[in-house]
Amino acid sequence: MTPDLGCFVRRKHGLEIEEGNANYHIEYAPSIDFAPEYHQTYFRIKCGDAAFYQRCGVHRTSQFESIPPFIIENRVPDFILGGDKPVYATDWLRYPVSSGSWYYWFFGQYRNPAEQQWRADSLVAHTYDIYVNGTLSEVHYDDTGGDRDLNDMILEVAIVGRRPSVFEPVIGQDTATELFKKQGMPRIQEEIAKIKK
């Protein structure tokens, strides 16, 4: 399922390296650019061109300051994207519709095929676009940082506005249901019985 972002509004910024983030990219909702009461976060691997295996762990937390990175590294991620060589595109995955403040952590890792150990990617950068109904980031990882090409694994992360599902009671529904039970239901039951013969 593709996120329903609506029409493109503007690009906030092109590809920018996230200085000091190492291999962490963080999205949060609400943000200064998009603050719906309810939102849903989607993500996927778009593509990649890596000499090594690439994967991305994904976590969601309700607090930022009290969750230092080393705790996140020791938790099993909510999702693991990739782990293959070559890097394959994935389907869109998503968290449930949420309200309040949430932080979405994406950390890239690589593994040399000749080794068993996974290592933290060296660099992360992202673009940021604003749409009528959300935001879309393209997140670029570089494994060793040697070539700084930022194309070893590329994710897309979309935060989409949602509306609460409120179903108001309908005037006259009880009467309509009784009419259906007396007239419509017997007719349909007769049609079903003819099929079974």
Residue 197: its pLDDT value, please?
73
Q: Taking 80 as the threshold, does the pLDDT of residue 17 lie above it?
A: yes
Contact yes or no for 133/80 (Cβ under 8 A): no
| Domain identity same for 12 and 67 | yes
| Domain identity same for 151 and 174 | no
| Domain identity same for 185 and 108 | no
The band of 70, judged by pLDDT with boundaries at 50, 70 and 90, is: low
The band of 2, judged by pLDDT with boundaries at 50, 70 and 90, is: confident
Residue 58: its pLDDT value, please?
92
Q: Which domain holds residue 191?
A: 170-197
- Burial class of 106 by CB neighbour count within 10 A (0 to 12, 13 to 18, 19+): buried
What is the distance, to the nearest Å, from the Cα of residue 193 to the centroid of all Cα atoms in its chain?
Answer: 46
CA–CA dist 142, 43 (Å, integer): 18
Residue pLDDT, tens place only, 155-182:
999 999 998 776 777 888 888 888 999 9
Residue 67: its pLDDT value, please?
62
Q: Write the DSSP string, 16-34.
A: EE-TT-TTEEEEEES-SS-
| Domain identity same for 136 and 54 | yes
The answer to the question of residue 27 being in a domain is yes
Hey, what are 171's tokens?
């005037």
Strand stretches in 73-152, DSSP E: 79-84, 93-94, 98-99, 102-111, 119-120, 123-131, 134-142
CA–CA dist 71, 24 (Å, integer): 13
Q: Taking 70 as the threshold, does the pLDDT of residue 73 lie above it?
A: no
pTM, full prediction: 0.81
| Domain identity same for 106 and 194 | no
The answer to the question of residue 34 being in a domain is yes
Our count of domains for the chain comes to 2
| Domain identity same for 189 and 134 | no
Going from the C-alpha of 66 to that of each of 26, 57, 71, 76, 103, the distances in angstroms are 15, 19, 10, 18, 12
How many CB atoms lie under 10 A from the CB of residue 98? 15
Residue pLDDT, tens place only, 45-59:
999 999 899 999 999
| Domain identity same for 82 and 140 | yes
| Domain identity same for 38 and 54 | yes
The answer to the question of residue 180 being in a domain is yes
Residue pLDDT, tens place only, 94-149:
999 999 999 999 999 999 999 999 999 999 999 999 999 999 999 999 998 888 89
| Domain identity same for 14 and 96 | yes
